[in-house]
A and B are shown apart, each in its own frame.
Chain A
């Protein structure tokens, strides 16, 4: 009786460790996977649900005001947003990772970012996407599947467009 208990305890421990190791070795949610749904509440209070944007291309960019490498791409992302604005089917969402609101707002103002940005409350969104650092950008196609994963900043506006254009026709 005690033996069964001990062996199942050991078994449980090993299973649990295996799962833990598997998860620690996992990388970000990858290309071809379904993008985890989330709700983003912008700094101005509006709610955005990712699943509402099925049928559009969604660009989800993780950033932070304390992140130096986020700065080079900030203006380019805004330009890309403006470029696709009239089409109405390319959505840009900025997720602010472990940041402080006043500093975040200052950052957005400095780079003239106008598309929706909101804090990653309780770091739930970045955990769902298994984000390992900032900046990271996920381009999600019209079916809710991840089509491009950008780790680190985009190098230019053209670079951003090159990851979106193939999805449009």
Chain B
């Protein structure tokens, strides 16, 4: 072996450095999660005992402990989804910000769709019914810049009739 050649020595050094970095990178992946990493997961969960408070802003000791669990699990290499599933198994569906999409919970997502599609359809049908024939083009051209209709509207007529009625009643 030509170990005493300068170039080879550098190559070996580089190789050793490279190899030593491998465990370092594996460690870095799971090593000390930052507060931001923890909050990233905590933000998507709700405190199991408090009323409607997200886990990243909850100030109780219990919540601090739960964030501690998130930190530990992140350090062990758990993914976000795995941690969320763990919380659900322990404390129930209500720790999630939205009902999980299974079983009866589908109803919560379907109803708004029905509301909008149904509402839109109803409106469209109504609009068809209400549609009046377009007025004469010549009339329109004249009235372009002043929106006030030439004839008094039904409302104006109503109002005048009201006034007259009230006056006659004294």
Which A residues fall within an 8 A CB radius of B?
66, 98, 100, 103, 119, 121-124
Contact = CB atoms under 8 A, between A and B. Distances in A.
Contact of B61 (A66, A119, A121, A122): A66
Interface of B: 48-49, 61-62, 65-66, 69, 88-93
Contacts of A119: 90
Contacts of A122: 88-93
5 contacts: A98-B91, A103-B65, A121-B90, A122-B88, A122-B93
Nearest to A64: B62
B69 A123 contact: no
Nearest to B72: A102
Interchain residue pairs A-B with the least CB separation, the first 6? A122-B92, A123-B92, A98-B48, A66-B62, A100-B65, A98-B49
Contacts of A123: 48, 91-92
A121 B89 contact: yes
A72 to B, nearest CB: 19
Contacts of B89: 121-122
Contacts of B65: 66, 100, 103
B75 to A, nearest CB: 14
Contacts of A121: 89-90
A100 B91 contact: no
A45 B135 CA distance: 80
Contacts of A98: 48-49, 62, 91
Contacts of B62: 66, 98
A103 B69 CA distance: 11
A124 B90 contact: no
A121 B90 CA distance: 5
A57 to B, nearest CB: 29
A145 B3 CA distance: 84
A100 B61 contact: no
A103 B65 CA distance: 9
B69 A100 contact: yes
A153 B68 CA distance: 29
Given A98-B49, A100-B66, A122-B91, 11 more contacts: A66-B61, A66-B65, A98-B48, A98-B91, A119-B90, A121-B89, A122-B89, A122-B92, A122-B93, A123-B92, A124-B92
Which of B48, B61, B69, B92 gathers most chain A CB within 10 Å? B92
Contacts of B69: 100
B58 to A, nearest CB: 13
Nearest to B69: A100
Contacts of A66: 61-62, 65
Contacts of B49: 98
Contacts of B92: 122-124
